[in-house]
């Protein structure tokens, strides 16, 4: 009996010693610092955003198609009926959800780069505005962060102004993705949608349009300050028809987020990109960024480069229901002058040299 008790005592002592050793080993492992935790949260915030924009629509479409051939077929049928009923909502202001715009995840998204919004002039709530967003870049990070999320303080900098951002109308035909876009304040880049926001929702609305579009994204690369704008005059005509003031904005650092394989004009690959752009509305770009494991690896996440979006002085525009070509050209020229002034006054503050020039094609 004494032998059994002694053996049990030795086992308990050994177990206690093992537990103490394990605890010492665990405590000796360095815990992640607050800086490491913040960096991880920022990386995850950017990852969910990239995956949402690149995959959410396609994955949702495939999932609903699959469910049609299962016992859950009623779910996609009911959702399809809802889309048909709700078809015109994206072009009638959408469904903004203020709580989504204030998600904490967008603050981590902002801090990853980081993104900053700079105000140079007041915007009066008694007017409506069309904000020209330049440059397009690859994924329009600056435009999204500043005009769709509340993380950079747009509503605080411009009290009484509601910001919207336009994107390709085809995105609002994708299931679930359309709900995600509308909840943030995105709307189709169509005359009907923009006209509704500028005429049917009172004043204090600011519609941001990435004017260069897909054509501009094909030339996006670090150090390039070339915009596609010379023949883009539809936004000026819309502004005149609704009496909306024109506001230039420029996101310094937008073109530094990715590396792109740029094909020369006249090459067969460039020709394919142009044709695809005309058919689908967007251009297939061959680009890469950083990977998940480290900033030195390659992947599809943007590099952590600072983006500063500067909102310039508004150009007062009269309301003319049927503006002439000469009038459109005049205000288009005034807008370009305001944009050049904005660029030249701020370029040395946000990473460019005095010799850098803004080229407009």
Q: pLDDT digit string (tens) for 117-133?
A: 999 999 999 999 999 99
Q: What is the pLDDT of residues 53-63, one digit of tens each?
A: 889 999 999 99
Q: State residue 31's pLDDT score.
A: 66
Residue 53 DSSP label: I
**Is 298 contained in some domain?**
yes
**Is 162 contained in some domain?**
yes
**Is 13 contained in some domain?**
no
Q: Which of 146-155, 234-243, 253-262 has the lowest mean pLDDT?
A: 253-262
The token duo for 126 is 């008694």
**Is 17 contained in some domain?**
no
Q: Residue 331: which domain range?
A: 34-360
Q: What is the pLDDT of residues 268-282, one digit of tens each?
A: 666 766 676 666 555
**Is 10 contained in some domain?**
no
Q: Flag whether pLDDT at 318 surpasses 50.
A: yes
**Is 207 contained in some domain?**
yes
- Is 256 in contact with 139 (CB distance < 8 Å)? no
CA distance 249 to 244: 16
Domain count, the chain: 1
Cis peptide before 200 (omega within 30 of 0): no
Return the closest-CA partner of residue 202 out of 161, 156, 232, 149.
Answer: 161
The overall average pLDDT reported for the chain is 87
Q: What is the pLDDT of residues 4-50, one digit of tens each?
A: 444 444 444 555 666 767 656 645 656 678 888 899 999 999 999 99
- How many CB atoms are closer than 10 A to CB 191? 13
Tell me phi and psi for residue 237, to 5 degrees: -65, -40
């Amino acid at each position: 009996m004494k032998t059994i008790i002694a053996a049990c005592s030795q086992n308990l002592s050994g177990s206690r010693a093992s537990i103490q050793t394990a605890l010492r080993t665990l405590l000796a492992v360095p815990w992640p610092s607050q800086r490491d935790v913040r960096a991880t949260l920022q990386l995850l915030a950017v990852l969910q955003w990239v995956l949402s924009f690149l995959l959410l629509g396609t994955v949702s479409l495939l999932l609903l198609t699959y469910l049609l051939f299962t016992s859950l077929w009623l779910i996609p049928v009911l959702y399809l009926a809802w889309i048909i009923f709700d078809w015109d909502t994206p072009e009638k202001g959408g469904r903004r959800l203020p709580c989504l715009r204030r998600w904490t995840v967008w603050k981590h998204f902002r801090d990853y780069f980081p993104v900053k919004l700079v105000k140079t002039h007041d915007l009066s709530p008694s007017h409506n505005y069309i904000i020209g967003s330049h440059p397009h870049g690859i994924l329009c990070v600056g435009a999204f962060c500043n005009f769709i999320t509340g993380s950079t303080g747009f509503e605080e900098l411009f009290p009484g102004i509601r910001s919207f951002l336009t994107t390709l109308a085809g995105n609002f035909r994708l299931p679930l993705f359309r709900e995600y876009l509308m909840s943030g304040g995105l709307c189709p880049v169509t005359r009907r949608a923009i006209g509704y926001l500028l005429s049917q929702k009172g004043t204090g609305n600011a519609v941001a349009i990435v004017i260069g579009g897909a054509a501009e994204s094909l030339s996006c690369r670090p150090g390039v300050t070339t915009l596609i704008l010379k023949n883009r005059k539809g936004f000026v005509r819309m502004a005149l028809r609704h009496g909306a003031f024109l506001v230039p904005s420029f996101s310094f650092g937008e073109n530094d987020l990715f590396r792109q394989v740029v094909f020369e004009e006249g090459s067969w690959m460039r020709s394919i990109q142009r044709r695809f752009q005309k058919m689908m509305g967007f251009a297939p770009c061959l680009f890469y960024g950083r990977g998940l494991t480290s900033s030195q690896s390659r992947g599809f996440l943007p590099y952590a480069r600072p983006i500063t979006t500067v909102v310039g002085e508004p150009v007062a525009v009269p309301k003319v229901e049927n503006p002439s070509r000469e009038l459109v050209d005049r205000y288009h020229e005034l807008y370009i002058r305001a944009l050049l002034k904005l660029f030249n006054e701020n370029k040395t503050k946000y990473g460019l040299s005095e010799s850098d020039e803004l080229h407009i094609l």
